Structure 1
Amino acid sequence: MSSETMFSSLTKEQIALEQRFNCIVCLCPRLQMVYGLCQHRVCVSCLYSESGAIRLSMLKCPICQNSNVFPPWKPDILEDTIELQKCLGIRQCSGCTMELWDWEIENHEEYCQKKKQVPKTPSNNKKIKFLTRSESARKSRSSTDKDCDLSPRQTRSRRVVGSRMLARLRSFRK
């Protein structure tokens, strides 16, 4: 599949999701949606006023014009319904809490005025240096020598004992 074909199919899928799951009034993706008896969906902010009462313009469904299909007072939106919207790909901007599709949020957050700036710490910029086995062995030996405060003679005798133990262990393998 060519990248152009994949891009056009992705765009078709995005358009299909937007047409099916956006609010039918404001045409925006929303996490809090209310289903009418007619099965049309409208977001809470378009359907209800600040007091929680249904707006007079919403006494009829905007699509089918049936009367009294939405609850007269703002219902509690179940967490499952919000999770379903999130599964579909609706996300909230971390700064302004605007609700957008996954494919829109990254672009929005670049220019969002209320986006929380994450300070860069020097620890995030440090590069990790991986040691070879011999380097790590030398480093561990030198650190144990420093920690134990052994004399050079004691350190040498410790190494001899260690090498003798290794020789014994190897003899058991044979």
Structure 2
Amino acid sequence: MERTDFDLAFSCPICFCPSINIVFGSCQHYVCSQCLYDDLDDSLRSTLSKCPICKRPNAFPLSRPVVPESTRQLMRMAGVVECKHKRCCQEMWTWEQEQHETVCPAAKKAKKESRPPAPRPATPRPATSRPETPPLRPLGSRGIMVTKLISGRSRGTGSRSSSSRK
């Protein structure tokens, strides 16, 4: 089955969109619950009192039914997914997700909220009174770096006499 055939076979015959919440009529045709029950004016509601495919009268319930979980799972297996952003509620085919992310208002808002704050401009630090650290020089074959002793005395030299070391 080509993707376009798949789209037609599992999409709502009214809005041509995929939906997890499909409602089956007594004639076994289906329509998404949004097309049947959301914000319809009286002229559209009278049109939908018949099945849009076979024109059977009163094929669908007058009030929105609870869509069985098995039907929802079947549509997920067919490839219908909901937008991952809770504020969006859009349903689409899995292969449409990437394109939807570029136009989804909830995705744009979430991306904007997750951005880190703009970096502050660097402020100059006040000068310190510490002297600069002397340069390092290698010591021996191990590559250990040491600094030159700044004081006038060398380590290990002192004014102790050999008699005081006992």
User: Identity percentage over the alignment?
Assistant: 37
How has the CA–CA distance of structure 1 residues 32 and 104 changed in structure 2, closer, same or farther, with 3 Å as cutoff? Answer: same
Q: How many Å apart are 1:94 and its aligned residue?
A: 2.0
What is the distance in 1 between the residues matched to 2:101 and 2:7? 20
What is the distance in 2 between the residues matched to 1:33 and 1:16? 18
Which of these residues, 69, 75, 82, is aligned with residue 65 of structure 2?
A: 75
* 1:98-124, Cα deviation, whole Å (9 max, x unpaired): 111011111111232211228489xxx
What is the distance in 2 between the residues matched to 1:47 and 1:14? 26
Bigger Rg, which one: 2
* 1:46-67, Cα deviation, whole Å (9 max, x unpaired): 112459xx93221111111111
Partner of 1:25: 14
How many residue pairs get aligned? The number is: 108
8 Å Cα contact 1:49-1:55 kept in structure 2: no
8 Å Cα contact 1:23-1:41 kept in structure 2: yes
List runs of 5+ in structure 1 lacking aligned partners. 1-11, 122-174
Which of these residues, 110, 113, 120, is aligned with residue 105 of structure 2?
A: 113
What is the distance in 1 between the residues matched to 2:64 and 2:104? 30
Partner of 2:121: none
Partner of 1:97: 89
Partner of 1:44: 33
Larger strand fraction of residues: 2
Query: What residue identity is the alignment partner of 2:26?
Result: L
List runs of 5+ in structure 2 lacking aligned partners. 117-166
CA RMSD of aligned residues (A): 2.3
Partner of 2:5: 16
Which of these residues, 65, 87, 91, is aligned with residue 55 of structure 2?
A: 65
Larger helix fraction of residues: 1
Partner of 2:76: 86
Partner of 2:46: 56
Q: Which runs of 4+ in 1 moved over 3 A?
A: 118-121
